[in-house]
Structure 1
Amino acid sequence: MSLSILTQYLPQHPGLLPQWLALTAFIAIGNAVQAYVTLSYTRRVYLGPKAAKDGRSTPDATSPATPLSSRTWGTWTLLQGVVRGYAAYDISNPVMYQLAVITYIIAGWHFLSEWFIFKTARLGEGILAPVLVAVTSLIWMLCQWNYYLQ
Structure 2
Amino acid sequence: MTSFLPQHEGWLPYWLLLVSILSVGNTIQAYLTTKNTREVYMRAGQEITALTSRIFGTWTLVSAVVRLYAAYNISNPQVYELALVVFTVAWVHFVTEWVVFGRAAWGRGLAGPILISTGSLFWMFSQWAFYVG
- TM tier, smaller: over 0.9
**Secondary structure, in 3 states, of the residue corresponding to 2:104?**
coil
Structure 1 Cα separation of the partners of residues 48 and 69 of structure 2: 30
Which of 49, 57, 77 lines up with 2:60 in the alignment?
77
Matches within 5 A, 1:66-145: 66-145=49-128
Which of 6, 15, 31 lines up with 1:11 in the alignment?
6
Equivalenced residues, count: 133
Structure 1 residue 63: Cα displacement: 5.7
The Cα offsets for residues 16-49 of structure 1, whole Å up to 9 and x where unpaired, read as 0000000111111111111111111111111016
CA contact (8 A) 1:47 1:63 kept: no
**Secondary structure, in 3 states, of the residue corresponding to 2:4?**
coil
Which of 20, 45, 67 lines up with 2:40 in the alignment?
45
CA contact (8 A) 1:21 1:84 kept: yes
Structure 1 residue 111: Cα displacement: 0.4
Larger Rg: 1
Structure 1 Cα separation of the partners of residues 37 and 102 of structure 2: 15
Match of 1:149 in 2: 132
Structure 2 Cα separation of the partners of residues 63 and 100 of structure 1: 32
- TM-score, scaled relative to structure 1: 0.86
**Secondary structure, in 3 states, of the residue corresponding to 2:52?**
helix
Answer 1 or 2: which has greater helix percent. 2
Structure 1 Cα separation of the partners of residues 46 and 95 of structure 2: 17
What amino acid is aligned across from residue 9 of structure 1 in structure 2? F
Unaligned runs of 5+ in 2: none
Structure 1 residue 64: Cα displacement: 2.9
The Cα offsets for residues 87-142 of structure 1, whole Å up to 9 and x where unpaired, read as 00000011110000001100000000000111110010000010000000000000
